[in-house]
Amino acid sequence: MSQTADRSYDAVFIGAGHNSLASALHLAAKGWSVGLFEQASVAGGAVKTGDYTLAGFRHDWAAMNLSLFAGSAFFKAHGPELLQHGLEFSPVSKPFASAFADGSWCGVSTDLSQTTTNIARHSTRDAETWAALLAAFPTEAQHIFGLLGSPMNLRALAYFVFKILRAKRVAGSLDMARFLMQSPRQFLTQTFESPKVQAMLGAWGMHLDFAPDIAGGALFPYLEGMAGQAFGMVIGKGGADTIIRALISALRTRGAVIETNASVSKVLHKNGKAVGIELADGRTIMARRAVIASTAPQALPRLTGTDTAFDQKLRRFAHAPGTMMIHLALSDLPAWRDPALRDYAYVHLAPSLDQMARTYQQAQAGLLPDEPILVVGQPTTVDPSRAPQGQHTLWLQVRMAPGTILGDAKGEITATTWPDAAEAFAERALDLLERYAPGTRARILACRIVTPAELEADNPNLVGGDQVCGSHHLAQHFLFRPVRGHADGSTPIQNLHLTGAAVWPGAGLGAGSGFLLAQRLAGK
């Protein structure tokens, strides 16, 4: 350890993703001095926007949907300040739809009559069920969001259970517990009769590593469906990085220091207490009160140089399959068979629960899926500022994709490294898009493929291209995220904390782990 520190702060952050930035802003507002050190050339982690195809076409690198951020407890506390620093949202009234191979589709709009009409084309009973679920959603939402927004410790959990028992009694509480343990398929097939309505909602489980038959995944199709209906969706005006730019501006106004191209090589600790960090360039940055690491769990032991039982558990932290991103500059939106799909921010190409389950298993086995799930993002349908007039950007998530390729489920691609397999796998995805929207290929002006390997190289937290930084399966969620006893981000080293998507409440742009940690450190 250096004898003399180059700089010191109350809190030092390793990484400047949105959880770190949110945590740092709350601490700075409470009077803490903060310094953030980010290995990449720009802050924001997976939340960044750039001209990745052609000049004037603004593409979100990975994250696009800002609804969780806009609805978060962090934004409620700090939103007015961020709006003063240039944060702008674009509201979406038609958040998502699913297209099917026969040319039909089903979508959710904030207009309930429009949504029920869409659903009734497939099942009148399901349309009635949808309306009933929505009527009950305000009551259910306060319980669910109460759980997702609570610190995940035994005391907080006991208080949550007490409130649920008081509100729902024993039978209702058991019903809720059962729901939280259900797989997407169990919930969807028991609730809706149309396979297409089931598929429309089931596609959301794939965003958080919940294939149709994974226990604990029912919550996410339910929440996305009901929230999409009740609130719509929010994307960033000009790009998702609007939240990052506003956070950085607010932090710097409060005196924070944010360095990019600043890799951290060590966490400095003495007598069981973290005291600072050492940068790759040899500088020593001291921390008077906290070192906060926004890293994938297995990276922390490399920084601390320790090998405790806690470190061994971090090394076993499981990641979800990867994602390939395809960014397209288009002369026009996709040529959907029904032009009504042009109005939706997201269009899923995930035609059945069975197909989603097969795709997931193939990726888990290291195989390039024969028919990947496509999430087709159409941000310019609500934010035309992202492309030159009359033209469009398209944001394609190709799910699932193995981080390490062992083979091809279709038997066509022989390459087993991403640099060699990328183009052929991207062609498979684009062929799929063309099947649902014939004529779209002719509208492509430029294409940028980002493989799972490139996602990880750009951001080491996205291990194997895992955009959610760790599976959310029950054994690695709630009290167990990232490991039992440390869902609050604490570590056995005093004053050293973890934050980010690997810490409760997990992935998404709600800044939950960063805000909860900052509140705990600052005493709210």
78-131: per-residue pLDDT in tens? 999 999 999 999 999 999 999 999 999 999 999 999 999 999 999 999 999 999
Q: Can you read off the two tokens belonging to residue 344?
A: 């939706």
In this predicted structure, what is the pLDDT of residue 150? 81
Among 458, 490, 512, residue at a domain's last position: 458
Residue 205 shares a structural domain with residue 273: no
- What span, in angstroms and rounded, lies between the C-alpha atoms of 351 and 102? 10
Tell me if 249 sits within 8 A of 85, measured CB to CB. yes
- The dihedral sign for the CA sequence 317, 320, 326, 332: negative
Q: What angle do CA 225, 500, 14 make, to 5 degrees?
A: 155
Residue 428 shares a structural domain with residue 454: yes
The model's pLDDT over 166-176, given as tens digits with 9 standing for 90+, comes to 888 888 888 88
Where residue 301 sits, what CATH number does that domain have?
Answer: 3.50.50.60
The model's pLDDT over 489-522, given as tens digits with 9 standing for 90+, comes to 999 999 999 999 999 999 999 999 999 999 999 9
Question: How many angstroms from the chain centroid is the CA of residue 188?
Answer: 22
Question: What is the three-class DSSP state of 297?
Answer: coil
Residue 247 shares a structural domain with residue 280: yes
**104 domain residue, yes or no:** no
Task: Spell 439-450 as b/e; 16+ CB within 10 A means b.
Answer: ebeebeeebbbb
Which of 134, 74, 136 is CA-nearest to residue 110?
Answer: 134
CB neighbour list of residue 506: distance below 8 Å, 6 or more residues apart: 208, 468, 470, 472, 477, 481, 512, 513
The mean pLDDT of the chain is: 95
Q: Phi, psi (5° rounding) for residue 446? A: -160, 155
Question: Which range marks the domain in which residue 435 is found?
Answer: 321-458
Q: Is the pLDDT of residue 160 over 80?
A: no
Mean pLDDT along residues 60-71: 96
Q: Is the pLDDT of residue 154 over 80?
A: no
Mean pLDDT along residues 321-330: 97
In this predicted structure, what is the pLDDT of residue 344? 98
Residue 424 shares a structural domain with residue 481: no
Residue 380 shares a structural domain with residue 501: no
Q: Is the pLDDT of residue 162 over 60?
A: yes
DSSP 8-state code for residue 494: B
**66 domain residue, yes or no:** no
**69 domain residue, yes or no:** no
Among 458, 481, 510, residue at a domain's last position: 458
Residue with tokens 């390939």: 324
Q: Is the pLDDT of residue 158 over 80?
A: no
The model's pLDDT over 348-400, given as tens digits with 9 standing for 90+, comes to 999 999 999 999 999 999 999 999 999 999 999 999 999 999 999 999 999 99
Residue 249 shares a structural domain with residue 279: yes
**394 domain residue, yes or no:** yes
Residue 327 shares a structural domain with residue 202: no
Percent of the chain whose predicted confidence (pLDDT) is above 70: 99
Residue 202 shares a structural domain with residue 146: yes
pLDDT band at 2, cuts 50/70/90?
very low
**88 domain residue, yes or no:** no
**97 domain residue, yes or no:** no
Domain count, the chain: 3
In this predicted structure, what is the pLDDT of residue 128? 98
**93 domain residue, yes or no:** no
Mean pLDDT along residues 333-350: 97
Among 179, 205, 231, residue at a domain's last position: 231
In this predicted structure, what is the pLDDT of residue 4? 58
Residue 268 shares a structural domain with residue 376: no
The model's pLDDT over 117-149, given as tens digits with 9 standing for 90+, comes to 999 999 999 999 999 999 999 988 888 887 787
**78 domain residue, yes or no:** no
Least confident of 205-209, 329-333, 412-416: 205-209
pTM of the complete model beyond 0.85: yes
Mean pLDDT along residues 43-70: 97
pLDDT band at 403, cuts 50/70/90?
very high
Residue 213 shares a structural domain with residue 118: yes
Residue 300 shares a structural domain with residue 404: no
Percent of the chain whose predicted confidence (pLDDT) is above 90: 90
Residue 310 shares a structural domain with residue 325: no
326 strand-pairing partners: 396, 449
* Dihedral angle of Cα 103, 107, 111, 115, to the nearest 10 degrees: 80
pLDDT band at 3, cuts 50/70/90?
very low
